[in-house]
Structure 1
Amino acid sequence: MLQFLTSLFKPKPAEAPPITSETSMNFDGEEVGPFLNRLADNPRFALPRDFAAAISEALPELALDETRRWRIDGDFDGVAMRLEIQIYMDDINAPDLSFHSSAEVVAEIDQALKQLDG
């Protein structure tokens, strides 16, 4: 009974802002894991430790013209965020990655993509 009463007064976790923006880039297959690891190491993000490995390990299983999407919940600048990563295999070992989230999150990812493409 006490546990029920205390659960009534627990603050609800903050909801992530809605997904409003997108950025994308074509990758060589071997670039996906290192890019996602650099994203995870970005101090503005707090992402699950295993998300980059899970996505990288799924790449060889994707057939040509297949699409797969992952939903990742984490923080951006200390605020809850939701990131969706979609991979479309438009060429053999050359996936197209698109990143969907709030405008601020996508802007940070877009900067990282520009550095990679630079």
Structure 2
Amino acid sequence: MTQENDKVQKLAFNLKKNPNDSFSKFALALELLKRDQVSKAIILFESILEQDPDYLGVYYHLGKLYQQTGNAQLAGELFTNGIQLADKQNNTRTKSELSEALETLKIDTDYDH
């Protein structure tokens, strides 16, 4: 078993024991992205967003996946909501990253909200 597969199995096992563990879900989604398993990663990120909407990191990553899969509207909404949450949490670094992602989305697509 490769080290990467071992990591995925450990994270999946952690999730099986605690299905509401946003950190393990987030880490597993990132590992799946490394393996080009985009649809599985999206499902995990969406699950985090639904159960733990204050989990700030999910807004950038899920927004980027929506953008990559052609859903500029959802990407823009996530970036905008993430900016508001980052502001509320006084997280200037993430707010800056989300703002930059939103500006890039506006340049690359017809998103104008």
Do the two structures share a fold, i.e. TM-score over 0.5? no
Q: Which has the higher Rg, Structure 1 or Structure 2?
A: 1
Q: Decide which structure has greater strand share.
A: 1
Higher relative contact order (CA 8 A, sep 6+): 1
TM-score by length of 2: 0.28
TM-score, normalization by structure 1: 0.27
If each structure's helix is expressed as a fraction of its own residues, which one has the higher value? 2
